[in-house]
Chains A and B, each alone.
Chain A
Amino acid sequence: MPMGPDRLRSTAAIPFWRDVRVLGVLAQIALAIALVAGTAWLGRNLLAGISRLGSAQFLCADGSSHLRCLFNFMNLPASFDIGELPIDYETTDNYWRALQVGLLNTIKVSVTGILLATLLGAFTGIAVLSNNWLLRSLAHGYIDIIRNTPLLVQLFFLYYGVILALPAVSDSLRPGLGIYLSQRGIALPWPVFTGSMLPWLAFLLLALIQFQVLWLILGQREQATGRPTNRLAWAGLSALAVAAAGWFLVAGFNDNQAVLVSRGARVGQARSTLEGLEALVLDRLRIASLSPADLEQVGPEALQEAALKVCVVEGSPSEPNLARLLRARNIPFHMEDFDRADQATAAYAEGECDVFAAPRVVLAGERGTLENPAGHLLAGVSELPVVLSLPSLEGLNLAGGARLTPEFAALLFGLVLYTAAFIAEIVRAGILAVHRGQSEAARALGLTEGQRLQLVVLPQALRVIIPPLTSQYLNLAKNSSLAIAVGFPDLVAVTNTIMNQSGRAVQVIILVMLAYLSLSLAISALLNWYNRKMALVER
């Protein structure tokens, strides 16, 4: 033995200044002290700095000043306007409400953006793998240019160079499908739910149950006989049949919608309300029918003059519902929007419009307020559970449909185009990560192409795709803060205004950061849950 037994048996402990464990703890304590001291120094400076800004920073309700009243200023009235309101907001509401509006705007653009970016990204990712060289190169070029230029430049370009460069509302571009593009943004057709949606929802539920039951029964038969039954087709078709039957039943036998019309117009004597309205307009125009050829003979001024004038409450489903019926019969009409039902009634009473369209219950109440209720008739019109509200040009404004402001449109499309390029790369990598042997094995087992994708390729690809996808979603949510560059009132823009107006920089920044942190946590929690679900497929 090279060393003496004395050295081996030496009981002399390692001196503590050479013991790694002790040194480690000491280093940690030193670090902790440094961190605490640094934080304390910064905190003292901060408090001193804030007190330089004035004693109103921590003003309490009772007039005293205390640190606990850090956020009390948020109860003051905001008194600034916000361009886009997902919820009701007045300038007399407090800062909390304004903050809420900003947060909801951020969530709105983030969620819509995530959905659209996923679609476009998946499509582009598949296009990159296409067997068409042109499509492949096009997708590559798109990804390359978008990924290598700053998002902010793209946003500026989209907002100032594209959307604000569109024609004025009166010369809107109409690329088809009822879409209007103009300087004031984008208007799209949008489905509106009417009062008969609720009964139809019951039918939809029934259809869902029907689908499930048939699916299970046919599945059991498949198991028993070993012969494939076309499960999806049978279950799907029967569910569709139930839903369609429900649609026609609900549309045929509901009595929700009506128009208020004077008895003098003799609408009640016609076979249906619509025929009565048609006769009314025909009388005024003095022509035989409303066919395009006959309408051609009438001048545009006369047509404008004779058009059926309809009073409606803004945003009520009665408007698109009646518009749909009138359009189907080619009856020229003009809609007057009012904020409240009583305003519309007043306008009707003064003869500003021929009919007032609203749900029957509303009309029954409103008729009672008229001078001569018996002189007016409630004429029923049919109603569909869902009607498509089409945008249309009303003078210098667009009415109906869903309207995206230029700011929202620029931000949304900027974020979608940018993030989709990154998602495309992720999707491509995910699909390529599934070994070719997997596809070959699936084909060898006799799976159809759809089954191969659904059962073999996608589950494995998704496992690779989801983690990086999560971080892209988070990036999109965080990048939505660039809204401030195009003037969309998101969280950062609203809080910036609050900060400038109230002079409480620190408090506001704390709130913004908390809001973003919770948003990020929510998104990553959601996708982590999904990721775990997908990962369970693993052995």
Chain B
Amino acid sequence: MAPLTQSAAPPRPARPLLASALGWAQENVWATPWQALGNLALLLFAAWAFRGQLARAPLLASVIGALWLAGLLWLAANALGHRPDPLSQWLKERLFASPPSALLTLVIVLWLAAAARGLVSWAIVNASFAGKGEHTGATWGVIFANFKLFMVGQYPAGDLWRVWASLALAAALVAALVLVLGPLRGRLRPARRLLTALWLLSPVVIWLLLRGLSPGSPLPPVETRLWGGLLLTLILTVFAIVVSFPLGILLALGRRSQLPGVPAWLTALVVGGLAAYGLWTYTLPGWPHATTVLERVLLLWPLWLALAGVLFQRAYRGNVAAAASTVYIEFVRGVPLITVLFMAQIMLALFLPANFDIENAYRVMWGIALFSAAYLAENVRGGLQSIPKGQYEAADALGLSTLQQLRLVILPQALRVVIPPITGQFINLFKDTSLVTIVGLFDLLGIANVVIAQPDWLGLRREAYFFITVIYYLGCLAMAQTGYWLERRTGLGVR
């Protein structure tokens, strides 16, 4: 048996450089055949990428290659000396963690540099900030010359103060909210009430400001077809949020409602009666004339109605609220927004009485809002499901009415939980407003398409799309940040 204790180990002989490098490679480069093969492939790939970039931009590529090599050598020197300094630590953690990682770093830096070079030369070096000319880069003049169009569309220039006033009102309300929730927190209860009322009222006020009153008044009407650009995008988004939020909550509550249902005999009576009447007056007289299978299927509608009645009793036990909400939510979530918009545009006119006409912008606004409500309902339902039963029972025990229970106990908790998905949903909504371009409205995207159809700026698509992409990106970023702020304010995940 070997002795358990040993005298002081002899000092480790300094391994020669080559042997230690080989040992390292044995462990990290060709430990298994697969690893060796993968590393070889990556090495060839990196060499190919380096050769390609060397041919295109010799100076840049060689500088990058030299820097990469220097980093590698620095790291190796440090590893051999067993004296890691902060720089080599940083390099090892982020860029040179393993041989494949180091090769990947080289390729990514090379390609990123090439992309950045191309972008800078297009957007700045070779660009013109005035009209079209002989330059090869971007023509940013298209943005400067059409800035007003991008922002508000064809909103009359003399009435622009109304847009500014709306913005000022919104800004003031936001500032007041930040004040009340921040420094003045806990004090000024009446001010909070007032602020809530003002917030609830503000969409109407802003709408009146922008839309105008009667022709002779200080606020002459501005037709909705003149609304455009970012203004229209924001109006569509805010309207859809304001309408779909309460509607979504109602739908979610409806889908989860536990109300006692309509008794089966009543459903049987009503549906059966209707089906019998339909069979007698429509199906039987029409049957001999029907020639195709499809015609027969359509003629048999009373039968399908009866079937729906049976399913309704079976699946929902007569709960009309749950059945109607579920059917609405699932139907809307099953079809694309663009079909809903087409439907709003074309079929709404048919659904309403003959003398009743709605402007295109309003139809589209309602289409988006009703569409969004279904998605929101599913998010809210998730929140409702996360509330333990005890909360309902405690509220019942306190003697709260159903409405009080919802307002004071259930919804504040449920909505807080779903702030992240709802934020995501609203961001989607903001992005989806761009679809109104297809149905002929001039939102940010629509106006971009108009701008680049002007003879002076014909075909400058990249510039225009680049600009609106930045605006959309900033908008989404702002919404996401607001979401995070709300999460922190309500102590989501902490309390």
Contacts and interface: CB of A to CB of B under 8 A. Distances in A.
B266 A29 contact: yes
Contacts of A505: 346-347, 350
Contact of A25 (B261, B292, B432): B261
Interface in A393-412: none
A50 B351 CA distance: 9
A45 interface: yes
A149 B431 contact: yes
B465 A161 contact: yes
B450 interface: no
Nearest to A22: B260
Interface stretch (B4-12, B104-112, B174-182, B385-393): B104-112
B334 interface: yes
Most buried by A among B336, B449, B476: B336
Given A153-B445, A517-B335, A45 B324 contact: no
B320 interface: yes
A21 interface: yes
A14 to B, nearest CB: 15
Most buried by A among B112, B286, B318, B334: B334
B299 interface: yes
Given A145-B473, A149-B472, A485-B438, A49 B354 contact: yes
Most buried by A among B290, B295, B445, B480: B295
Contacts of B213: none
Contacts of A149: 431, 469, 472-473, 476
A161 B461 contact: yes
B488 interface: no
Contacts of A69: 295
Contacts of B290: 68
A61 B289 CA distance: 10
Interface string B273-289: 00000000010001001
B291 A61 contact: yes
A482 B336 CA distance: 9
Contacts of A138: 108, 112
B115 to A, nearest CB: 10
Nearest to A127: B104
Interface in B79-137: 93-95, 97-98, 101, 104-105, 108-109, 112
Given A149-B431, A509-B343, A133 B94 contact: yes
Given A28-B262, A149-B431, A481 B336 contact: yes
B318 A28 contact: yes
A131 B105 CA distance: 11
A151 B259 contact: no
B266 A482 contact: no
A28 B286 CA distance: 35
A149 B476 CA distance: 8
B338 interface: yes
Nearest to B106: A134
A27 B354 contact: no
A99 B324 CA distance: 30
B188 to A, nearest CB: 36
B260 A153 contact: no
A513 B339 contact: yes
Given A28-B321, A71-B294, A134 B104 contact: yes
A329 to B, nearest CB: 30
A72 B339 contact: no
Most buried by B among A61, A148, A478, A485: A148
B262 A29 contact: yes
A72 B477 contact: no
Nearest to A52: B354
B469 A48 contact: no
Interface in A473-500: 478-479, 481-482, 484-485, 492, 496, 499
Nearest to B349: A49
B320 A31 contact: yes
A132 B104 contact: yes
Interface in A134-161: 134-135, 138, 145, 147-153, 156-157, 160-161
A506 interface: yes
A333 interface: no
A521 B347 CA distance: 25
Contacts of A534: none
B331 interface: yes
Contacts of B295: 60, 68-69, 72
B187 interface: no
B63 interface: no
B319 interface: yes
A24 interface: yes
A147 B475 CA distance: 12
Q: How large is the interface on B (under 10, 10 to 19, 20 to 34, 35 or more residues)?
A: 35 or more
A392 interface: no
Most buried by B among A52, A149, A517: A149
Given A45-B353, A134-B95, A21 B320 contact: no
Nearest to A75: B292
Contacts of A482: 338, 435, 438
A360 B278 CA distance: 64
Contact of B259 (A28, A147, A513): A28
B324 A492 contact: no
Contacts of A157: 461-462, 465, 469
A512 interface: yes
A148 B476 contact: yes
Contact of B347 (A27, A145, A492, A509): A509
A516 B476 CA distance: 29
Nearest to B296: A68
Interface string B310-354: 000000001111001000000101111111001100110111111
Contacts of B195: none
Nearest to A481: B336
Most buried by B among A21, A479, A513: A513
Given A133-B95, A505-B346, A46 B351 contact: yes
Contacts of B491: none
A31 B94 CA distance: 62
B246 interface: no
Contacts of A32: 262, 320
B454 to A, nearest CB: 16
A481 B319 contact: no
Contacts of A42: 351
A520 interface: yes
Contacts of B289: 60, 62, 64, 66, 68
Contacts of A62: 289, 291
B154 interface: no
A298 interface: no
10 contacts: A45-B352, A60-B291, A68-B298, A132-B105, A148-B431, A151-B431, A161-B461, A478-B336, A505-B346, A516-B334
Interface of B: 93-95, 97-98, 101, 104-105, 108-109, 112, 259-263, 266, 282, 286, 289-292, 294-296, 298-299, 318-321, 324, 331, 333-339, 342-343, 346-347, 349-354, 427, 431-432, 434-435, 437-438, 445, 449, 461-462, 465, 468-469, 472-473, 476-477, 480
Given A25-B262, A66-B289, A71-B294, 16 more contacts: A28-B318, A42-B351, A52-B354, A68-B290, A72-B295, A132-B105, A134-B108, A138-B108, A149-B431, A149-B472, A153-B472, A156-B445, A478-B336, A492-B338, A513-B335, A516-B339
Q: Which 4 A-B residue pairs are closest in the complex by CB-CB distance?
A: A49-B350, A133-B94, A148-B476, A481-B336
